[in-house]
């Protein structure tokens, strides 16, 4: 039992950083893919954008819960039951990463900006987020600025590929 307690206590900054980066990438790609799927139906009213924002939040929370639960099941062992809650809470970066997209959609629903063509600002924001996460990861790994910028650009490009592929699949 002491071994389990030590494992819980030794959650390092590296693990937290990895979880934040994973959640950020997963959440931004999830948000972009959801918007790509939702805009295919052609609904462009303010009310539909509020509905889209709500569904994005539900999907973000459900994905975080499913991912956390999968981690808990995969790493099952002699651990305290409270560890399940800790594993689920560690998925917060995924939820945080979908919040800006939900806010963009909700803003269109509230009339802050047009409800039509909302995918452009959504995709632009999420691609910029992927670039920033790639850049940060490379810098944290000790890479030069040139390599870090190239890594960020590559991550952003991969995000574009995933979103475009998902749009064609849907």
Tracing tokens 């991912």 back to the chain, one arrives at: 67
124, part of any domain: yes
Question: What tens digit of pLDDT does each residue of 150-169 get?
Answer: 999 999 998 888 777 766 77
pLDDT of 3 > 60? The answer is no
Q: What is the pTM of this model?
A: 0.82
Question: What tens digit of pLDDT does each residue of 135-149 get?
Answer: 999 999 999 999 999
The residue range of the domain holding 59 is: 20-169
Number of domains comprising the chain: 1
5, part of any domain: no
Separation of alpha carbons 46 and 106, rounded Å: 8
Sign of the dihedral through C-alpha 35, 123, 102, 19: positive
User: Residue 72 contacts by C-beta under 8 Å, 6 or more apart in sequence?
Assistant: 83, 84, 87, 88
Please compute the mean of the pLDDT values over residues 94-120 and round it to a whole number.
93
Lowest-pLDDT choice from 49-53, 54-58, 113-117, 152-156: 113-117
């Amino acid at each position: 039992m002491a071994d389990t307690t030590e494992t819980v206590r030794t959650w390092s900054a590296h693990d937290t950083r990895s979880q934040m980066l994973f959640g950020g990438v997963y959440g931004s790609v999830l948000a972009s893919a959801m918007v790509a799927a939702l805009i295919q139906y052609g609904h462009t009213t303010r009310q539909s954008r509020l509905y889209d924002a709500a569904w994005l939040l539900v999907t973000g929370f459900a994905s975080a819960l499913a991912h956390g639960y999968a981690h808990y099941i995969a790493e099952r062992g002699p651990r305290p039951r409270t560890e399940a809650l800790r594993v689920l809470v560690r998925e917060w970066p995924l939820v945080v990463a979908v919040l800006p997209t939900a806010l963009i959609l909700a803003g269109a629903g509230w009339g802050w900006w047009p409800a039509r063509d909302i995918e452009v600002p959504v995709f632009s924001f999420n691609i910029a987020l992927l670039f920033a996460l790639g850049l940060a990861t490379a810098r944290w790994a000790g890479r030069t600025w040139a390599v870090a910028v190239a890594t960020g650009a590559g991550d952003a490009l991969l995000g574009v590929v995933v979103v475009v592929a998902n749009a064609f699949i849907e």
